[in-house]
């Protein structure tokens, strides 16, 4: 039997989260993951990735560029075959979605 060289989806999910933590909202010095903008990351058995995310507001100045940046950075991971970003405003983003780390960084704790 040959050894499986596939990466498991949980491991790939961790790598995707690490990449997401390198992307920052231009108006807030906190990464989009800690800000709570990433609602879900789906990885199927073909290593196609779908990311459900939101923006701090529908009028966000990076509404066009941020999803593209997320898609491109996730696609740059070797194990990812394809990536798609879907923007949703349901539920709308609130400061409650921010991690403790983000709130601390912004002096909210």
d(CA 8, CA 53) in angstroms, rounded, equals: 23
- CA nearest 48: which of 82, 14, 73? 82
* pLDDT tens string 29-75: 899 999 999 999 999 989 999 999 999 988 888 889 999 999 999 99
- Domain extents for the chain? 9-93
Which helix (H) or strand (E) segment holds residue 19: the answer is helix 9-20
pLDDT at residue 6 in the model: 56
The CATH fold assigned to 9-93 is GMP Synthetase; Chain A, domain 3 (3.30.300)
What share of the chain in percent tops pLDDT 70? 94
């Amino acid at each position: 039997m040959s050894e499986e060289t596939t990466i498991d989806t949980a491991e790939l999910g961790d790598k995707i989260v690490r990449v997401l933590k390198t992307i920052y909202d231009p108006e807030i010095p906190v990464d989009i993951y800690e800000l709570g903008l990433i609602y879900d990351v789906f990885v199927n058995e073909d290593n196609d990735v779908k990311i459900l995310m939101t923006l701090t507001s529908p009028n966000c100045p990076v509404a066009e560029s941020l999803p593209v940046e997320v898609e491109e950075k996730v696609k740059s991971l070797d194990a990812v075959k394809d990536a798609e970003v879907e923007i949703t405003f349901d539920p709308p983003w609130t400061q409650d979605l921010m991690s403790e780390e983000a709130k601390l960084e912004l002096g909210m704790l």
